[in-house]
Structure 1
Amino acid sequence: MAPGVLESILERLPHVDGHPGVLVGLDPGDDAAVYQIDADRALVATVDVITPIVDDPVTFGRIAATNSISDIYAMGARPLLSLSVACFNAQLPVEVMGDILAGAAETALAASAPILGGHTIKDPEVKFGLAVIGEVHPDRILRKSAARAGELLVLSRPIGSSALATAFKKGEFDESDARYKGLVSNMLRSNRSASEIALEAGVRCATDVTGFGLAGHLLEIARASGVGIELDFDAIPVLEGAREALRAGHTCGGAQANLQHAGQKVSTKRNLDTVDFGILSDPQTAGPLVFTIGAEQADTIVEALRRDGAATASIVGRITEDHCGSIQVV
Structure 2
Amino acid sequence: MGPKALSQVLRRVEFPGVDENLLVGFDKADDAVAYKLQGEQVIVQSVDFFTPVVDDPYLFGQIAAANALSDIYAMGATPLLAMNIAGFPTCLDNQILEEILQGGADQVANAGAIIAGGHTIEDDEPKYGLAVTGVVEHNNLITNSGAQVGDQLILTKPLGMGVMTTAFKGGIAEVDGNSLAVKAMATLNNKPVELMHKYNVNACTDITGFGLLGHAWELATGSGLEVTIYANQVPLFAQAKEYAALGLVPEGAYRNQDYLQKQVEFGVKINEARKDLLFDPQTSGGLLISVAKEDAADLLSDLYQAGLDDATLIGQVTGTGPKIKVRDEGN
TM-score, length-scaled by structure 1 = 0.96
Secondary structure of 1:250's match?
A: coil
Which AA in structure 1 matches 2:322? G
CA deviation after TM superposition for structure 1 residue 170, in Å: 1.1
Residue of structure 1 in register with 2:323 after alignment:
326
CA distance in 1, matches of 2:255, 2:216: 16
**Are the aligned partners of 2:54 and 2:175 in contact in 1 as well (CA < 8 Å)?**
no
Paired position in structure 1 for 2:10: 10
Deviations 1:256-283 (A, max 9, x none): 1001111111112232222011111100
| Change in CA separation of 1:189 and 1:294 when aligned onto 2, cut-off 3 Å | same
Instruction: State the AA in 2 paired with 1:25.
Output: G
Q: Does 1:294 align with 2:298?
A: no
Determine if the alignment matches structure 1 residue 315 to structure 2 residue 326: no
Match of 2:268 among 243, 267, 270: 270
CA distance, structure 2, for counterparts of residue 204 and residue 17 of structure 1: 29
Matched residues in 2 for 1:44 and 1:13: separation?
Answer: 23
Q: Would you say the 8 A contact 1:57–1:99 is kept in 2?
A: yes
Query: Which runs of structure 1 show a deviation greater than 4 angstroms over 4 or more consecutive aligned residues?
Result: 15-18
Give how far 1:312 is off: 1.6
RMSD of aligned C-alpha atoms? Answer: 1.4
Q: Aligned runs of 1:61-140 on 2, under 5 Å?
A: 61-140=61-140
The answer to whether the Cα contact below 8 Å between 1:35 and 1:43 also exists between their aligned partners in 2 is yes
Could you report, residue by residue, the CA deviation over 1:219-252 in whole angstroms, capped at 9, with x for unpaired residues? 0000010000111111100112111111222221
> What is the distance in 1 between the residues matched to 2:238 and 2:95?
33
The TM-score with structure 2 as length reference comes to 0.95
Contact (CA 8 Å) 2:65, 2:108: kept in 1 or not?
Answer: yes
How far does the alpha carbon of each residue in 1:47-73 deviate from its partner, in whole angstroms, 9 at most, with x for none?
A: 000110111100000000000000000
Partner of 1:55: 55
Question: What residue number does 1:223 align with?
Answer: 221
Structure 1: which 5+ runs fail to align?
A: none
Is 2:28 the partner of 1:28?
A: yes
Q: Deviations over 1:82-108 (max 9, x none)?
A: 000001011111100100001101111
1:16–1:25 contact (8 Å) kept in structure 2: no
Asked if 2 retains the 8 angstrom alpha-carbon contact of 1:113 and 1:132, the reply is no
Q: Is the 8 A contact 1:79 1:134 kept in 2?
A: yes
**Which moves more between the two structures, 244-253 or 71-80?**
244-253
How many matched pairs? 327
Identity %: 36
Unaligned runs of 5+ in 2: none
Query: Do the aligned partners of residues 7 and 319 (structure 1) sit closer, same or farther apart at CA in structure 2, a change above 3 Å counting?
Result: same
The SS at the match of 1:121 is strand
Aligned-partner Cα distance in 2 for 1:243–1:10 = 34
* 1:260 equivalenced with 2:258 (yes/no): yes
Q: Deviations along 1:176-207, whole A, 9 cap, x unmatched? A: 6x9x6101110111111111211211312000
Match of 1:142 in 2: 142
Q: Distance in 2 between matches of 1:35 and 1:64?
A: 25
Alpha-carbon contact 1:182-1:240 (below 8 Å) kept: no
